[in-house]
Structure 1
Amino acid sequence: MTFTTVSANDLQQQAFQHLNNGDYEQAAHLYEQAIEQEPENKSHVWHLGLALLLQGQEAEAQTAWWLGMADGEPEQIDQWTTDLLQVLQTEAERREQLPDHPVAWAIRQHMREIAPQTINNLLKIVQLSLTLTTFSDEMFDELELIELLQAKDAVVDPELLLQTLQTLLEHAAHSPSTLALGEASIEHAHNRARFVDAILRTAIEAAHGYLNPDLACLLGELCLRFEVFEVEVMRHLSTFYQNAHQYTKAIETAQACYELTETLADRVYANHLVLKCLMGASGYLAESRVAIERQEELVRSLLKSAPDDIDAVSACRLFISTFFFPYFKDDPATSRPIQNQLSSLCQSNIQRIQAETTPELLQRSPAKSNQFSPTKKLKIGYLSHCLKRHSVGWISRWLFQHHNRERFQIHTYLINQPTISAFTQQWFVDQSDHTYGFMGCNNTILERIHQDEIDILIDLDSVTLDGMCELLSAKVAPIQATWLGWDASGLPAVDYFIADPYVLPEAAQDYYSETIWRLPQTYVAVDGFEVGIPNLRREQLNIPSDAIIYLVVQGGYKRHPENVRLQMKILRDVPNSYLLIKGGADQESSKRFYEQIAEEEGVASDRLRFLSWAVDEAVHRANLGIADVVLDTFPYNGATTTLETLWMGVPLVTQVGQQFAARNSYTMMMNVGVTEGIAWSSDEYVEWGIRLGQDATLRQQISWKLRQSRQTSPLWNTKQFAHEMEAAYEQMWLKFIESK
């Protein structure tokens, strides 16, 4: 009888096949045979231990490896350890590719026991624990990874380090471990720009998508430590600070950013940020005046030079850089043409870039037989980053609810909403035929709108979102209109600005580039607001029960010194009256601002009360009931706050101007049938404020009118409003196809 002896090499190959196929017991048996034939070949031992480990026999695996090392000299043991780690590394990588993350994690834990200071393996353990959702800060601390990275002789793969940081930023951005790893990465980042890009993108998402400005600030500060793209980081960081109510840091960062900018286009935007931070804080009157005058000079210089080589990001930023003009003065005949020219300049640069990079998006698909039919079911697209618990969301939701779905197909494009809240789901997703979510403004949105063949695209954001410039400039819908979110943008690609008989004066078309489309009664309507339980009482504020309470409910942006001076005159002439000031701003600077003007007008500062903003909107509305009279701001009125005030039946004093922002309260009051409190001059504003403060009967009559208006007013009739808006869409469509 003849016996065939299988060589150790053949045994090893067969064992390896069994190992890959998951037959670990047979693989271990074959490796044992190979060891008998070649006891000096340690590779068989290392693979035997691996086969045992994969069977769950961890103790046996460790014993095999220990015995394999037992007869070696120190130098040999070092080399054998390296070889064993390579065997385990190869199998761990294979498991990660399958993917079989639990086994990969287990193998790497054994690698850690063998070589606890191998940084690259520890980084892989972090990645796997994040994938397996077993990551914790405690586990991270146990790895002692930060201490190892801080060592002078640390050896690390920079690419793997970046990948791990990116994974942490994606899954655990809020974790202290993420910031610690980011800081420890600074000395090992060969390409620091890539690290900053990853961290900054997460910071932006945290600030604007998840509304976590505190985290955004920490990540932004970390970016600065890498010492690359400092100006770009500071641009974002100034906004992060402001959103986190760190107003002093916001102002300092914005000013530092301005000092470091070089090109005219960059200086325009940087100064806009300075202005934004100063106004958001409130109380920086002299500095704000300097900044707004400088802004107008910079914008005029830019328009005069008319550059045609502006990149897309800079063009979008320039697009929003006149945002604060209407907050300072009511002069639309001057400010609107500047906005129009700036938007036109931005659009021309954007379109140049789009023509070079994405020409396919600039042309509508070949016309179908019914594409331009006057009776077709119209596809309406709504584009916004505010369709959530936001002023735009609170107001626009009713139109979505009452749309006629037999005549219109509704497409909703949500920007910067990484998660869909219950509010967004109920009022927008469930009320739309198709809803899409996007992070940032990019060609993906344009491609989606293009594929959906939208007939009328409604922009709800105007210049409140810089990326709207890029999206609307492409003109991917045959008709584009702006509604609700702000004044008109001035982009030539936008056909209409939706208004009503009151919110713009008759001569407004002279300085608007868009065609003003006036709805017959009101450009806005709601069916009401959710109202909670008030948590604000007079005794809390140390205000007598018989006192008159005036209330201002606007943030720092809208606090104009001349308007505040009028409010103090009212307070001075109405004995036993108090002014409550509510709205986001820096409390200390805002207090100094109001108290200085109060002193100049002879009003004691103890008649002023500064309130924090209610966390819950429903409670905020309930608290409006503490006021006898609400005093509106000028030259930038309230909008949603005015609607809430009127819904709660509280008398309002507003001054009417010429610009859109100075006529919002006017159109709302006209549409509820209340003219008491509408002032056409500063003197009338004071007169109405005094009269309403002194005449309790008049206040009661106005409150009764407001409550009765709930049954009769166009402002509270959203079914009628939806019908009027849809009629406007159909008329826009008819005008379009008649022009073809």
Structure 2
Amino acid sequence: MITAWKEPAYEYLLKQDYLAVAHYYEEALETEPKNYNYYWYLGLAYLLLEQEDEGQATWLVAMSAGSQEEIEIWTTHLVEILSTEAQRQESLGDDRKSLLIRRHLQEIAPTLLTNLLALIPLTINLGYFHPELLKKWEVIEIVKDANSALIDSQSLLKVIELILNFPSYESLALTEVSLPHLIQLTECCLYNIFTVLIKVAYQQNKTSFAADIAELCLNFYPNNLYILKHLCGFYLYGVEHQKAIKIAQDFFQNSNCLSQKLFANFRLIQALIGASAWKEVKEIAQRHKDLLIQVIQEKPKQLDSGIGSSFICITGLLSYLEDNPQESRYFYNQIAQLFQQDFCAKTPALVSKANFKQINKTLKIGYIAHTLKKHSVGWLSRWLLQHHNRDTFQIALYMINQAEDELTQKWFRQNADIIHNLQPDAYTIAKQIQTDEIDILVDLDSITLDITCQVMALRPAPIQVTWLGMDASGLPTIDYFIADPYVLPENAQNYYVEKIWRLPCTYVALDGFEVSVPTLRREDLGIPVDAVVYLSAQSGFKRHPDTIRLQMQILKEVSSSYFLIKGVADEQVIQQLFIQIAEEEGVKSDRLKFLSRDINECTHRANLQIADIVLDTYPYNGATTTLETLWMEIPLVTRVGEQFAARNSYTFLHNVGAEEGIAWTDEEYVKWGIKLGKEKALRKKINSKLKAAKQTSPLWNARQFTRDMEQAYQKMWINYCS
């Protein structure tokens, strides 16, 4: 048992008069030089005065006078004194002094795990942490050899949550040796760990690290559906589709309720499409529809807690598989309704708060998204923010857990009155929107992000709108879906629950794109100067084999032609898919050129100029890629369908006045591809049209488009007030 602080030294300590503490113990030692406890307190006083050398010297002088047995006892006393004061300083909010004490404590007792578990969070909070410290301090070995019964598992879990934000071998190794000590914290442990992993995977793009940690967790909690769900997502985002397929299959086999099976099947379809395993997709897609019908008929009152938050996403792939909006919209709408009922039943309701109804007021418009950055949504929505009339409208942005880049800073933060970048907690976000008294809330994510859907389900604003991100979500709380006269057929309202609000010309407009210097030349690819170059730049999910077959038929008929394929996908898998179909259609594989992604978007747009014609995808058209193509004045061939995703290129082409290349059947798609490939004069004519359209087309007049959107907002508000 150590001797307590002496009075009045303790009073000086509480008053943070550390110099007085030092003077007291200096005088005490002159009177009682053999009272070694005084040395420990004096050395600590020097530390608190940030006289580290004096503090260490004080302890060493005292220790040098003792026997081995005495030194062990004294060290125990010193450790206890330092630990107690470090805790006190931390409780006072002085992390810097606590860190100083604990750093010296670590030198005195390097294997003291309680100190290490407190030291690591302090170094992180103060910005001094690096994963190599875990190796330097031998934390991994100490935790590995520790007795679980003697470990503060909550402190250990806190450390794991923190160090996972620093993806490294050391962080992985420490997590691996820590999991056996956390086995009793199953639910809490997994939720806390995966909360961090989700951020690391999708914000820091460290999906491989996140997957490695998830695999470790799976070893300790075999067949855990929560782990399988997220692990599959990590592999998908990291373009490791074969691993994703295996995990998705395990997920499906271990699912024991309908909502789990549906989500697992959704993940499996994602993985199969990503791996271009289209033959297998057909059977799994049919199973998905059967499961959808079953869950809609059963109308479960409660969805599985681990799946319910993401349940609305399970319809998101239907538009990639086929163009059948009457059926797919039915699934969208029904699943969205189940999702909303389940989420709202588990979430406190917002206290009803009516906005002041005055027709001629300054309307507060809120935009909610996780994509206000270098992302398709960011590139397109920025112009609306740029041109908003700030005298008539007050603009608020609700970014969800979003990494911010130069696009965010220049175009979004500079053009809004209220800006929040919020953690992914739907209720908190909704409360903030309600507190800000937003009149019209515009969702830019649709079903690409479950958190956004949760916020919209809570209806924090009196008028709620979906625009831009994807097709409408089908949520009953969404009032309007922004469209134009062409992007949806005339009868579309028959299968949308949202009221379709058609703007006069186009549902999106830009003042243009930034373009850099091209880095790609034909000679670099071994393509003759006089050859015809087709190009397709899309994500792997849009590479439907039926459309690839049509593209190969075009290539076959235009003898001196090449096809450039570029986009986000598993490059090896995409190459195999294209080469296989090319060989089946009698096209030599050396006419296919597979391009890596460019270093940035500006270079990508410049490099589009290598193409004579761009061939669009179907049943899911290009959107941003089509706009980039038209801005670079390149002819485009598109296959028009019935669903929103199959009509983007059609509305853009119509709005620039270039009808050439618009195909309503597969046969027309092939004919237009051949015709544009063989008729150079026709391509030149389209080039001229596209160039002239930059001065006249509503597609390239973001200012007028903004006025159209603002007029729509005002009419929506008048309807609400009435």
Distance 1:28 1:725, change over 3 A: closer
Give the stretch that moved more between structures: 372-381 or 230-239.
Answer: 230-239
User: 1:630-649 counterparts in 2 under 5 A?
Assistant: 630-649=614-633
Rounded Cα–Cα distance in structure 2 between residues aligned with 1:714 and 1:49: 76
- Which of 346, 350, 353 is matched with 2:346 structurally? 353
Q: Quick one: structure 1 residues 359 and 70, their matched pair in 2 at CA, closer, same or farther if it must change by over 3 Å?
A: same
1:384 aligns with 2:369: yes
Deviations, residues 513-537 of structure 1 (Å, cap 9, x unaligned): 1111111111111111111111111
Matched, 1:696 2:685: no
How far is 1:693 from its partner?
0.3
In the alignment, structure 1 residue 86 sits paired with structure 2 residue 70: no
Pick the aligned partner of 1:364 from 353, 363, 386: 353
Aligned twin of 2:277:
284
The 1-side partners of 2:125 and 2:328 are apart by 53
Tell me the equivalent position of 2:248: 254
**1:559 paired to 2:548:** no
Q: Deviations over 1:379-405 (max 9, x none)?
A: 111111111111111111111111111
Q: CA RMSD in A?
A: 2.4
Q: Is the 8 A contact 1:672 1:715 kept in 2?
A: yes
Contact kept, 8 Å, 2:350 with 2:458, in 1: the verdict is no
Residues 141 and 518 from structure 1, CA distance in 2 versus in 1: closer, same or farther, beyond 3 angstroms? same
The amino acid across from 1:105 in the alignment is: L
Moved more, 633-642 or 439-448: 439-448
Question: Aligned with 1:188: secondary structure?
Answer: helix
Deviation at 1:607, TM superposition (A): 1.3
Moved more, 254-263 or 69-78: 69-78
- Contact 2:179–2:220 (Cα < 8 Å) also in 1: yes
Separation in structure 1 between the aligned mates of residue 100 and residue 323 of structure 2, nearest angstrom: 68
2:434 aligned to which of 425, 447, 450: 450
Distance 2:198 2:709 in 1: 35
Partners of 2:229 and 2:63 in 1: CA distance? 58
SS at match of 2:501: strand
Q: Does 1:135 align with 2:102?
A: no
Aligned residue identity for 2:377: V
Q: 1:163 aligns with which of 158, 166, 185?
A: 158
**Rg bigger for which structure?**
1
Of residues 504, 508, 512, the one that matches 2:488 is: 504
Aligned pair partner of 2:167 in 140, 161, 174: 174
Number of the residue aligned with 1:337: 330
Q: Report if aligned partners of 2:509, 2:698 keep a CA contact under 8 Å in 1.
A: yes
Q: CA deviation at 1:28?
A: 4.3
In the alignment, does 2:280 pair up with 1:296?
Answer: no
Match of 1:111 in 2: 105
Match of 2:412 in 1: 428
Q: Which residue of 1 aligns with 2:380?
A: 395
**Number of paired residues?**
718
Q: Which amino acid in structure 2 is aligned with residue 713 of structure 1?
A: S
Give the deviation of 1:572 after TM superposition.
0.9
Secondary structure of the corresponding residue to residue 710 of structure 1: helix
> Offset of 1:586 from its aligned partner?
1.5
Candidates 470, 475, 485, aligned match of 1:486? 470
Supply the distance in 2 between the matched residues of 1:700 and 1:10 (Cα, whole angstroms).
92
Other structure's SS at 2:307 match = helix
Aligned to 1:184: 177
Contact map agreement 1:551 1:581 (CA 8 A) in 2:
yes
Q: 1:312·1:349 contact (CA, 8 Å) conserved in 2?
A: no
Residue 238 of structure 1 is matched in structure 2 by 232
2: CA distance, partners of 1:649 / 1:547: 19
What secondary structure sits across from 1:125 in the alignment?
helix
What CA distance in whole angstroms lies between the structure 2 residues aligned with 1:272 and 1:280?
12
Deviation at residue 486 of structure 1 after TM alignment = 0.9
Of 601, 619, 623, which aligns to 2:603?
619
Mapping of residues 647-662 of structure 1, within 5 Å: 647-662=631-646
Task: Encode CA deviations 1:523-555: one digit per residue, 9 max, x unaligned.
Answer: 111111111111111122111111111111111
Assess, with a 3 A threshold, how the Cα gap between structure 1 residues 97 and 500 changes in structure 2: closer, same or farther.
same
Paired with 2:4 and 2:548, the residues of 1 have a C-alpha distance of 91
CA distance in 1, matches of 2:514, 2:641: 30
- 8 Å CA contact 1:203, 1:216 repeated in 2: yes
Give the 3-state SS of the residue equivalent to 1:320 in structure 2. Answer: helix
TM-score for the superposition, normalised by structure 2: 0.94
Where does structure 1 lack aligned partners over 5 or more consecutive residues? 1-8
Match of 1:197 in 2: 191
More moved, 255-264 vs 304-313: 304-313
Residue 257 (structure 2) pairs with residue 263 (structure 1): yes
In the alignment, the residues of structure 2 paired with residue 26 and residue 435 of structure 1 have an alpha-carbon distance, to the nearest angstrom, of 49
**C-alpha distance in 2 between matches for 1:392 and 1:492:** 23
The 1:683–1:109 alpha-carbon spacing in structure 2 relative to 1, beyond 3 Å, is: closer
1:27-86: CA deviation from partner (whole Å, max 9, x where unpaired): 345445656776775433432343355456656655654565567665554333222211
Task: Name the counterpart of 1:6.
Answer: none
Q: Tell which deviates more after alignment, 571-580 or 216-225.
A: 216-225
Q: Is the 8 A contact 1:374 1:737 kept in 2?
A: yes
Letter in 1 for 2:372: L
